[in-house]
Structure 1
């Protein structure tokens, strides 16, 4: 009783079982593979987990490593007028400590930070803040303002060639391209989707963000991050401890799991039906798992010593289970997988040599993942 929870395992279309509260996952399990032996040795707090799972590194010595999507933005840049990396609906917010690191470009510079939506696409009046110029401005006036800015800049260039000035110019041009691009505006327009498909994803923030992610990838965005919740302090969140004051087991069963299950399965089916899944990697990651034993309050605590991640598309062979834990889910018993291997799997799927160097602090080259680390080869 102190170990096993109330939910039973169910069979899937893959070579593994999952919890009964994710029945739609079971129906698409032939399209994703599950890594059951992830772990890290950093502190069991959200912030360190976010660092490691989004960058592959723990931040030490004042060095902030870039999010994988930001590294991609640096290495390949935008394909269209849309930014190369978008975060939906917002960055992960407060988790009881500092704002989680690992969500930005770090030492690569602000020019490679993601575009953050800052809006809820499930709302009837959804629109992207600042994507459209003010009504009184108009396209012609916007063009004139841009030209005026260029004239002023030409006069001051010889006096100000600082990195910050160059960054401001790059950010302005990126914003201008988005504001004046019909394709960019259309990519964010969920009203173009059939109502039945919107309902299939779920008419909630997470479901509509998953649908919007598909539209953005389709329109040329290279990397989309979808956060399930923005903080651990909402009434119901992903930070399920099963005991007060956190999300309860009932909250997980009746609210979080159905929402998550519906949206994920809809996304995988939608990408597959459109012929996009083979070229689109879909990763489901969390910063740690939960203690195998139930605590005295009736819940579970943070546990980075063993947890799961799963991957679909982008060259991944579906239906597989990689690694396993010991009988109580406390530690990996077979094929332990560290965060650099998880992030390395993302880079590998994107077509990068893992020894590709980024320009780190003081000109020091930084490989995408630490030397000697590899992707999870069994997934491919």
Structure 2
């Protein structure tokens, strides 16, 4: 089997980090408003000096410029250089009040604009405080008692005051498996004596649901102990409407926090590929060494390539990789973007025939 990967036309893909040019505060970027609150749509438009084949790279940075909250790349709409994009101010990275920066890179020039952002309006903040003061101990009682054994069950709130759920879930490597629903373990505990003995010795102060279950939330039945964590993570990553709903319900929180797992529990990409990405971005290893990792992701269907036959996968042959692609690999290796964002960027390269499989 053989994969042939080669690279064509140098397109700027998520490569803003490569530029150390002085920003130009020119009248290039226009915003529909100067201030926004969580959940609102930010409309960004403008006109750049058109250069054929050049992509526009765009970032929105948090007030300290320590994190990228939104990243995108696109071509101008036509040869007059006009562009128009909209982004929802929603998700776990929109977690600071303050002045956010829109950074645009085009044809080796950097442009910036800024706007004010607040996580909550005054009314929403008051309502949130009222909800916080309301007891939630009666919510989801049925789902958390389902199939529970005679063992005394502490509330999830009590567990949280003692130790974070993600700490409990990482105490034993591979347990619990995010591909298994919490109630899978509850049933196994009640039916398998050896498993029960192992669990009680490993977690002497906790019930099964303390360790494998979800925190109760303000939404009855969510998360549901009959659904495994990957069910929710995949939906969040793959369904835009589901992501929007989740971010609106849990502003400032990630899907992993709500499920009570660390993000590393959902790692799809082997560590050696991430190490390769770091070494490649710093010039320590060659292009061909890095492409071995990309071929692995395709062969293992971590990156989906439609209509790929078995005879087309195995070795990798490449031309020189455009230097700007290394920025995405570096961001991922430095945890400036997450694994899913890295996979989407590589998928973009494949779909747009920058990487030809």
Normalised to the residue count of structure 1, the TM-score between the two structures is 0.26
Structure ranking higher on relative contact order (CA contacts 8 Å, 6+ apart)? 1
Normalised to the residue count of structure 2, the TM-score between the two structures is 0.27
More strand by share: 2
Question: For the pair shown, which has the larger CA radius of gyration, 1 or 2?
Answer: 2
